[in-house]
Structures are given as structure tokens and as C-alpha cells.
A and B are shown apart, each in its own frame.
Chain A
Amino acid sequence: MKTLTKTLHAALLSTSLLAAAGAQAADVEVLHWWTAGGEARSVAELKKMLEAKGHKWKDFAVAGGGGENAMTVLKSRVVSGNPPTAAQIKGPSIQEWGAEGVLANMNDVAKAGNWDGLLPPVVVNVMKYKGNYVAVPVNVHRVNWMWANPEVFKKAGVAIPKTWDEFPAAAEKLQKAGFIPVAHGGQPWQDFTVFESVVMGVGGPAFYKKALVDLDQASLKGPTMIKALETLQMVRKYIDKDAANRDWNLATAMVINGKAAMQFMGDWAKGEFSAAGKKPGKDYVCLPAPGTANAFTFNIDSLVMFTQKSADAKKGQQDLATAVMSPEFQEVFNLNKGSIPARQGMDLAKFDDCAKQSAADFTASAKSGGLVPSIAHQMAVPAATAGAIQDVVTQFFNSHTMTPKAAADKLALAAKVR
């Protein structure tokens, strides 16, 4: 027995010595689903930065469902007592994870890097849990964009509509000229994206906030929402009949090819245009969705930090956070992704015009109150509620019998789900 204890002691001692000797170099494991060519290259930059600091990057990519599979894996890892260093989590989910008590406090890094000064207040709120930084933002996507093919509009002799009132007439003319007015992919999250842009366009940012962020029952059941739903129904008339289950990038391709006139999609659509060699302003234009010129619906990707046990892992995590907030990474990542940096005050010379406009609108709408979180991209309300509301929206979108009034009532019910 004595020899056993002695051997155990020796073993423990040697392993801890080894561990101490291996200090400074940690395994940084980041769970994400940025697996496409451009995105992957961006994450590779992050990997380079961390390896320069002497850490080892352990890639942990799990694609599928916009994070569905990744969340499953993350939960399993947390439950097994072995969370990764960081994970791609955004929006209110950050608060839910914080409530479980598994997130790390990044205040030291934040202070050293002056995050409070470099990020707009609306972003800071999302990254903090109970006043402490637990996540670092990677980018800012704008969701309420409309992408249009000016050639198509010219051929049909129509001006690009700027409000929902102008929309029906323009769409009719486009249809008569033989084009598909709206390119759309009939997947629930896309239906939801169009819905939120319509709500914003019809009701304005204040109404959007009340109904879809604060989940006010009266607003959800009321006349403005019914009007928004009627507008959505109207938009549906101008979508081609093969839209169901179409991937978003195939819809973008319809605009690129000149088969369709416009698409309501976030700024990642820009990547498709660039890949096809199209130039902004000439081959395609980016405009805020009708009626949303003074609003900015944001979707911020962020890396959430999990509590690590060893000192090395903590150091690796801190270096990760600093690297993500650095101007070099913010620039490279967002150039590849089509979004704009979360970090303010950067030189945007390398970015294209759509991105520059996006950045300008971001700052402007932050001041004017038009900066709102996207409900369709899990920024506004908890996942359960967003899911329930999405179910109603997509059901309404695909149904030929549901009335706007019935849908509004269902929305109000869905908003109660927690």
C-alpha cells in the first residue's frame, strides 16, 4: 500500500512538473461553423495570430443547420465537463449560457483593450452578462438589405421601389416584362428574414422594437402587424412557384443571372455577387429594404468564452479575445465575409461601397434609435420564442388559407413561449 501511495505521489509530481514546463502554450479550441472557402480563410487568420503567440489551434468545425449541430455538440461537451475554449454563439443565447454559470469573465482583457470605447453600446450589451464581458464580437451583419439587378429594372422600365407602397406597382410591371420580381428561397429562416424586413418597413423601428423585441402582445395582435402580414402576403405573389426549400445562394444567383429583379437578404449575399465577378453599383445595387432606410437590423457573430480550468488555457483564451478584437483580424474577416467590423473607428478604405454605406448607417442608426437586433437571426429574443414565432411565420407564408388576422393572433401566442 505504501509503495502504491509513493508511486502515485511520484506520478502526480512528474505530471505536474511536465504541465508546468509546458506553460505558456495552450490548446485553443474554438467551435464554429465557418466552413465555406471565404469564411474558412478568415478563421485561418485567427489561427495564425494565435500560433504566433505560441498557442496551438485546435479546430472544431461543425456545420449544418446554421449552428444546430454545433449547439448539440457544444451542449454535450459542456455536460461532459470539457467545454471548448470558445464557441460561436450569439444574441440572447449568450445570456442563457451565462445563466448556467459556465462562461468566463473577460473584463481584464476588455479593460486592457478598451472594448467599452471601441464598441457601440448596443453591441456591448449583447457581449455582457450581468455587467461582465463574456463574449467578443467578430462582425456586424446588416440584415435589412435588398439586392437588385439594375439591368432588369431598366429593361422593365421601372424604378427600384423605396417604400412598400411603391412596391406592388413596380412588381407588376416587372412580372409583365417577364421577370421574377422577388428571388426567394422558401426555407423558414429566409421567410423569417423577409418578414422582419417587411415589419420594419411597414411599422418603423419603434414598432419593430415593441413587437419583435419587447414582444408586446397588443402590438403583435394589432393593426400594424396585420398590415405587415398583408404586405408579406402581397410579396409572396411575386415569388416564383419553385421557391420552396431553395437555398439562399441559388436565389441570389437568380438576381445575378438577370432572371429575377431583387432579393431580400443580409449582406452575406455580397459574397455571391463577388464570386460571380459582379461589381457593386454597376451589375448590382444594394439598398435598404423598402421603408427601412433609417433602420439597421443587426446580426452580430460572436465568440463566447467558456470557463477554463488551467492557467495556460486561460491565457490562450485571453489571447484569443485580444486577437479577435484586433484591427487586423476584424479587417480580414469582414473583407472575406461581406460584413463590417464590430470595432469602431477603423479605416474602411479596402471595403466596397456597400460595406462603407453599411458602416455609416450603423453609426447613424445607433444615434437615431434605428439600430435593432434581428429576430430572424437569433439576436432579439431567446431561441425558444424565436423558434415558435418562426414556425408561425413560415406556416403563414406557405399557407393559402391562413388570414393575416389569424396569423397575428398566433404570433401573439407564440411570443409567450419561453
Chain B
Amino acid sequence: MADMSVAHTAGASKFGRFIIYGLLALVCLYYLMPLFVMLSTSLKSLDEIRAGNLLSLPGEFRTDAWVKAWDSACTGVQCEGLKGFFWNSVSFVVPAVVISTMIGAFNGYALTMYRFRGSDLVFGMLMIGCFIPFQVVLLPMAQTLGALGIANSTVGLVFVHVVYGAAFTTLFFRNYYVTIPDELVKAAKIDGAGFLRIFFSIILPLSVPIIVVSVIWQFTQVWNDFLFGVVFSSGDRQPITVALNNLVNTSTGVKEYNVDMAAAIIAALPTLLVYIVAGKYFVRGLTAGAVKG
């Protein structure tokens, strides 16, 4: 990126920098506030919560809310906290993310390097399909899964997530592959390389940034999903979002806000970690042309 600061005089640039940093810091406050609220509430005792105000620091740091959320909070008849549900989520998120990313890669590749009649139409169809609100598909999908015999199973849930995630992953990969020069593939074709060979030896090695973007996006979407998880799974196979919801939304019972907040943070930890650790790859992947067109 161009060295913009060179164009400024020394004094103006100092003031300008001050403004810039100031603005950034102010905005940081806006972004961090909810996290701070959640953390501090989860470390307070119930009496402190009822008595104090939102942004006050906990008097003493108590971790029992966290232990309870993980180990013994009630999510129904069983009061075993979130731990079992955590692994439930992992069990279907991983296959869903892997499969939908692979499908997206193949689709993106086919749609950009092997433009056939109607490939733009197909792409457009997929994009518009992204907009369908998921509430609309619940009943018909339930009927379909029932007919296929995979209702209420991990397979069914993975299937649903793959079907509705493929459109997004295809979008990411297609937009990325559009920036790869055609000549690369053309030359390989002339040399006699086939569809799959070109993909595995040329395209795939170049795709690392966009694979990261796609995995991060899909992981977040599928891990945080509630609607499909609650409808297409049951009992002790439910994902962590459903368990969290059960924990937080007690209908006519007593609410334990500190446990609720601790549970919410536990449920969010994997995605948070993914963003923090892989965040820079995310931006790098986007920079490499993920969403140019």
C-alpha cells in the first residue's frame, strides 16, 4: 500500500495520527464492552448481580458459575452442564465444514475454469438461494429427511448443513478462482492434463487462503446455528447451542445470570479461538481476492 504519511507535514501528521488512534481506541471500547459485561457478570455472585450495575467489576472473582455451566447446570432432566453437548457439536461441525468446503472448491473450480453453457446461471441460482430464510425449509426438510430415513441423526444434520452451506463456499471459491489467470489452466489442458489432475496439482496448492476463509466462515455458521440443530437432532445428541438455549431460557424458573453468561462464553469459545488464531489468515485470504467480484 502506498506510503500515505509521506504526503503530510510533520505536525499535521502527528495530530492526524492522534485522531486516528483516538478513533480506533474509542471504537475498540464499543466492540469490547459486551465481552467485558459477559465476563464480569459470569464472575460475580447472584447477589452482586442483583445489587450492582452492569459495568461494575466483580467484588471477588468467583469461578463457580463457570464450573456449574460446564459440569452441572440443568439443560432439561439431566443436569450435567454443557460438556457433553460440546462434543456433540464437534461431531457434526467437523464433517459439515470439511464436506461443504470440498464441494465449494470443486464447484468454484468447475464454474470458473470450465465455463459451460449456463454456468453463470447456475452460479446466480446458487447465490439467490443463499437468501432463503431457514425457517421456511424446516417443515419440508423434516418431511424429506423422514422419508430418507435420516431424520434425527447426525448424518441428517450434517446433510442439511452441507446443502445450505455449499452455496456460500461455492461463492467464496468461485470469486477466488476468477482471479487466477486462465492461461495457467489452458496451458495445462493443452499438455493433456485432465480435470482432476489440474485441480489437485495446480489449483489446490494455490487455494490455501480461500480454504481458510471458507473453513472459518462455515465453522462459525454451523457451530453457531440453532434452528437446524434444534429441529433435526434430539435428546443427548443436541448441539451446544440448543443446550445453551435450554440453560438460559428457563420459562418459569429461577434465572442464574452468572451461569448463563459463563455458558454463553463457553459456547462461543471455539469460534472465538478460531477467529483469534486464524484471523490474520482470514484477512490474508480475503486480500488474495476472495471477494473481488
Instruction: Identify the A interface with B (CB < 8 A).
Output: 29, 32-40, 43-44, 47, 57-67, 69, 72-73, 75-77, 79-82, 84, 247-249, 253, 257, 266, 268, 271-272, 275, 337
For chain B residues 73-114, which have a beta carbon within 8 Å of chain A?
74-79
- With A64-B245, A72-B231, A76-B231: A82-B74 Cβ-Cβ less than 8 Å: no
Contact: A65 with B249, CB < 8 Å?
Answer: yes
Most buried by B among A57, A81, A257: A81
Contact A66 B152, beta carbon cutoff 8 Å: no
CB of B143 within 8 Å of the partner chain? yes
Does B255 have its Cβ within 8 Å of any Cβ on chain A? yes
Least distance between B226 CB and chain A CB atoms (Å): 8
Closest to A268 in B: B252
8 Å CB contact of A63 from B79, B151, B231, B251 = B251
Among B142, B151, B152, B250, which residue has its beta carbon within 8 angstroms of that of A35?
A: B250
Chain B's nearest CB lies how many Å from the CB of A188? 15
Residues of B contacting A35 with CB < 8 Å?
74-76, 246-247, 249-251, 253
- Which residues of chain A are near B78, meaning CB under 8 Å? 59
**Contact of A59 with B254 in the complex, beta carbons under 8 Å:** no
In the assembled complex, the CB of B240 is this many whole angstroms from the nearest CB of chain A, namely 14
B37 touches A (CB below 8 Å): no
Query: Cβ of B242 < 8 Å from any Cβ of A?
Result: yes
A-contact bits for B215-250, CB 8 A (1 contact / 0 none): 000000000000000111011100000100111111
Contact: B246 with A249, CB < 8 Å? no
Are A37 and B231 in contact, with the CB atoms below 8 A? Answer: no
Query: Total A-B pairs in contact (CB under 8 Å)?
Result: 128
Contacts of B38 in A (CB 8 A): none
A-B contact pairs, 25 of them (CB 8 A): A35-B74, A35-B250, A35-B251, A36-B253, A36-B255, A39-B251, A40-B79, A59-B236, A60-B76, A61-B75, A61-B76, A62-B242, A62-B245, A64-B249, A72-B138, A72-B230, A73-B230, A75-B139, A76-B138, A80-B145, A80-B152, A247-B255, A249-B255, A266-B252, A337-B252
Smallest CB-CB A-B distances: 3 pairs:
A36-B253, A80-B146, A61-B76
B115 interface contact, C-beta 8 A:
no
Query: In which size bucket is the chain B interface?
Result: 20 to 34
Interface residues, chain B, with chain A CB atoms under 8 Å away: 50, 74-79, 138-139, 142-143, 145-147, 151-152, 230-232, 234-236, 242, 245-255
> Within the complex, what minimum Cβ distance (angstroms) separates A329 from chain B?
13
A57 to B78, CA, bound (A): 11
Q: Is the CB of A59 within 8 A of B77?
A: yes
**Is A272 in contact with B254, judged by CB distance below 8 angstroms?**
yes
Task: Give chain A nearest CB distance to B102 CB in angstroms.
Answer: 28
Q: How far is the CA of A180 from the CA of B138 in the complex (A)?
A: 45
On chain B, the residues within 8 Å of A34 by CB distance are 76, 251, 253
| Cβ A63 vs Cβ B254 within 8 A | no
Q: Is the CB of B145 within 8 A of A37?
A: no
B138 to chain A, nearest CB (A): 6
Contact A39 B252 (CB under 8 A): yes
Using Cβ atoms and an 8 Å threshold, which residues of chain B touch A75?
A: 139, 142
- Let me know if A79 and B143 touch, CB within 8 A: yes
CB neighbours of B235 from chain A (8 A): 29, 58-60
Cα-based distance from A58 to B242 in the complex (angstroms): 16
